[in-house]
Amino acid sequence: MRLEDLGLVGNCQFSALISRAGAVVWCCLPRFDSEPVFARLLDETDGGEFRIGAADGSPGEQRYLPNTNVLETRFCTADGSFRVLDFAPRFLQYDRHFRPTQLFRLVEPLEGTPRVAVSCEPRLGWSKAKPERLSGSNHVRFEGYASPVRLTTDVPLSYLGGQPFALTERRHLVLSWGTPIEEPLAPLFERFLGETVRYWQRWVKQCNVPPLFQQQVIRSALALKLHCFEDTGAIVASMTTSVPESAGSGRTWDYRYCWLRDAYYSLAAFRRLGQFEERERFVHYLLTVAGGEPDLELAPLYCIDARKDLEERQLGSWPGYEGHGPVRVGNAAARQRQHDVYGEMVLALFPVFLDDRFSEERSSHTLELLIRLARKAGVVAGKPDAGIWEFRNGDRPQTFSSLMCWAAADRLAAVAARHRPELAGEFKGAAEVIRGAIVERAWNAELGSFAASYGGADLDASLLQMVSLHLLDARDPRLNQTVDSVIRELTRGGWLMRYRADDGFGAPTVAFTLCTFWLVEALAKIGRDEEARALLERACQSLSPLGLLSEDYDVVEGRMWGNFPQAYSHVGLINAAFAASPRWADWT
């Protein structure tokens, strides 16, 4: 089961991955970090799935209805053709976003009399136990869950065991968690489908897009939106857990949580897209996180409800994606020291005091929080930590962590100049001290480049963020030299590796998708526009057929690895496209 053959649907409450065979192979209910109801992605034999597909099991062709998160899978068989439409309802109702925990699936004939097969085999989470099935007149109830789970359908219940039947008319299926469907299905489908299509198309129309790479940006924006957990404002790193970074690597992590670092970059993407609501909700989430940490000992990641009890454990009975385990739940990185989080918190929150649209979020308490965060950044700058890549083989003074601490002081100086002038000098001075330390301790004359750690001789792709965060003037030759060194040392098959060092699991063998987009952005910002656009065009050729991106890319096999879809990767594409594309003003 290749990641390239999976489509994503969701509604900012839950999500599902659907294969070209018409099978829901991954779905956690009632929210992203819940236990899975369908998990064939991690156990192809006994993980459970919900399939509507061709009787002979042949795959279909997938596409999204234009500018929506409604997925269509078309099947052509010897007996005729048909399509399956999958969506999770989302639209405005009573001045609120209606986003029920319900998966809607419509199957309709297009030509001839195709034979289809339908089976719904959920599992009771990580136990893989099969729930008891209780049949009604037009539904099947699955027992054993925390809330009622029911499949309501006008497909004859006798056909729900996977035996083929002739499809002569539209059929409707709704899997619901919680309140079941009681209305007539056909008109309900018509209304919910129409409203959901209109919602997504209106949302896309409200997005800014660059003149170039428009379709890639639109699809990335739609995918990124589905990573937002609207209830709290959190933005998850990915929908999945334990899809390995590469075959047999053992690098199988649970990404169904909110990394403060990833979410900050997501905010930058939403800002470029011109979408304000997601930024506002995430600010509220951050204030909740900070409110739970009076000493500001921030964790790198939190649950989507702002908890940080993320004890990592391995599930021995799960073989893992394509048999490449282990399967992990929780993430031990929540216990690491990652000093960059203070910079990312300030970068996420400082627009509250510079952008007047955030006037309701402004308060003396929030300003004091920002001041405390920036001062904390000054204290931890240059001290050893696990760093952006979450090394599990020892802490060291990471250049990227100090870069983010500098950014915290630098941006707070701008806020203080407007709201607390007496403190502007303090933070301007702190920023200069941290920048001086980075230049002195991270520059490696033998490399002719900044290094990934103070006094080190190693490179990593996060050094490219020196350009994007404006540590030095874009014309500073040290930036060009560092970019060239990163390209020379970390490029593999046209894609960029994070690093080449042993991180405790051996040296990485695949490219980290985001890093190539970081390179595009850096090249554009130092004036190397043609290189930037050529690199982005090449990278876009490796998108999945649906325009989705995973965490990692194997340049040898030409396939995706890692958790999927990956918010960080789509954020990188959006930011890179805006950087590499000319402005609309230059085209008009």
For 422, the token pair is 């007496």
**DSSP label at 492?**
E
Sign (positive or negative) of CA dihedral 563, 564, 566, 569:
positive
**CA 323 to centroid of chain Cα atoms:** 24
> Which candidate, 514, 495, 513, 510, places its Cα nearest to that of 248?
510
Rounded distance, CA 122 to CA 45, Å?
13
The per-residue pLDDT for 588 is: 62
| pLDDT tens per residue across all 588 residues of the chain | 999 999 999 999 999 999 999 999 999 999 999 999 999 999 999 999 999 999 999 999 999 999 999 999 999 999 999 999 999 999 998 888 999 999 999 999 999 999 999 999 999 999 999 999 999 999 999 999 999 999 999 999 999 999 999 999 999 999 999 989 989 999 999 999 999 999 999 999 999 999 999 999 999 999 999 999 999 999 999 999 999 999 999 999 999 999 998 878 888 999 999 999 999 999 999 999 998 888 999 999 999 999 988 999 999 999 999 999 999 999 999 998 999 999 999 999 999 999 989 888 889 999 999 999 999 999 999 999 988 887 776 788 999 999 999 999 999 999 999 999 999 999 999 999 999 999 999 999 999 999 999 999 999 999 999 999 999 999 999 999 999 999 999 999 889 999 987 776 777 889 999 999 999 999 999 999 999 999 999 999 999 999 999 999 999 999 999 999 999 999 999 999 999 999 888 876
pLDDT of residue 359: 85
Q: How far apart are the first and last CA of the chain?
A: 45
Containing 259, the helix (H) or strand (E) segment is: strand 258-259
Strand duo 96-98 + 91-93: pairing: antiparallel
CA atoms of 283 and 370, how far apart (whole Å)? 12
* Spatial distance between the Cα atoms of 83 and 106, rounded to a whole number of angstroms: 8
**Number of residues assigned to the chain:** 588
Q: According to the model, what pLDDT value does residue 386 have?
A: 87
The residues facing 53 across adjacent strands are 117
Rg, the chain, Cα only: 24
Full set of structural domains in the chain with CATH: 3-203 (2.70.98)
| Torsion 268-273-278-284 (CA) sign | positive
Closest CA to 265 of 293, 299, 294, 227: 227
Question: What pLDDT is attached to residue 505?
Answer: 74
